[in-house]
Amino acid sequence: MEIAAGIWRVQSGNEVIYALDCSEGCYALVDVGSAREFPKKLEALKECGITPEHIGAVFITHFHDDHCGALAALKEQSPARVVCHRLSVQVPSYCIAVSGISKALADYQVDDGDEVEIGKLSLIAHHLPGHTPDSVAWQLGQDFFIGDITFEWGGVGWMDVHWGSHVGDYRSSLQQLFRLQPRMLYPGHGEPVAMSRELLDKALANLNALAEADGSPIKDLGRPAVRRHSDTPPKTIRLSTALRPQ
Ligand SMILES: [Zn+2]
């Protein structure tokens, strides 16, 4: 269903993806969901008037299978180019079981501050690691598509240090998200939510409760994500809305 001008929210199971109108009959997705749920997503997209051949790009929020497991299936039916964070394709081999992306599926890799233009849209990648090393919030105007960074109820994404979660990164990413002054947050599970100080405080409290719990395996463990090198300036990637190979 269209939840804002040119933004559709599509849910199946507990997975939420978004479709964006890029103009000229071209659409972009933010995440694509798992392979298991993909047929239902396609049906739901069709009900919104969006068919695979009109999907020109997919913006990935992080490597988890419930966000990008259907990429291979989508690419078989659509000209979509996949844009993800550079760390999404450097997932350690022990994470492959939960990963839905690979180097072969990623057409463009971005880093913090990079911008991607497609049709009338311009999305900025904000690297906000913590839930995973590659977590990205995609900024479209004042709206942010945030994957599993936080949720309507102030929850935080599932944490496992063996799969790249990091409490310190997570804490600074939540604070950074607030500083970016989003208007609306569009998460990968549940309903959209307006950003507020209260939401930030809830998310930080939930993260702390997880980290401080007796016997918590996540406190002070894991490695912080590798940040952008300060000597490499952000880049702009321009994607055509033409839906055939060029
Ligand atoms: Zn996740």
Q: How far is the CA of 244 from the centre of ligand 1 (A)?
A: 32
Check: pTM over 0.85? Answer yes or no.
yes
Say how many Å lie between the CA of residue 24 and the centre of ligand 1. 32
What is the whole-number distance in angstroms between the Cα of residue 143 and the centre of ligand 1?
Answer: 20
Q: Any idea which residue has 């022990």 for tokens?
A: 94
Measured between alpha carbons, how far is 203 from 172 in angstroms, rounded to an integer?
Answer: 12
- Residue 246 falls within a domain, yes or no? no
Calculate how far, in angstroms, residue 207's C-alpha sits from the geometric centre of ligand 1: 15
Residue 71 lies in a domain: yes
Flag whether 244 is in a domain.
no
CATH of the domain at 195: 3.60.15.10
> Each residue of 124-177: pLDDT tens digit?
999 999 999 999 999 999 999 999 999 999 999 988 767 788 999 999 999 999
Which distant-in-sequence residues (6+ apart) come within 8 Å of 95 by Cβ? Answer: 63, 162, 163, 164
Q: How confident is the model at residue 92 (pLDDT cuts 50, 70, 90)?
A: low
Q: Which helix (DSSP H) or strand (DSSP E) does residue 55 occupy?
A: strand 55-59
Tell me what the pLDDT averaged over the chain comes to.
92
Distance from Cα 227 to the centre of ligand 1, integer Å: 19
Query: Mean of the pLDDT values across residues 3-20?
Result: 96
- The total number of structural domains that make up the chain: 1
The DSSP call for residue 64 is: B
pLDDT digits 0-9 by tens, 201-232: 999 999 999 888 766 666 666 788 888 887 88
Residue 79 forms part of a structural domain: yes
Centroid of ligand 1 to alpha carbon of 66 (angstroms): 7
Q: And the tokens for 93?
A: 């081999």
> Other CB atoms closer than 10 Å to residue 233's CB: what's the count?
9
The reply to whether 245 falls in a domain is no
Radius of gyration of the chain, Cα coordinates, nearest whole angstrom:
17
Ligand 1 mean position, distance from CA 234 (Å): 25
Is the per-residue pLDDT at 245 higher than 60? no
For residue 37, give the 3-state DSSP assignment: coil
Taking alpha carbons only, the member of 169, 172, 140, 138 closest to residue 67 is 138
What phi, psi does 197 have (nearest 5°)?
A: -60, -40
Residue 231: give the domain boundaries. Answer: 2-239
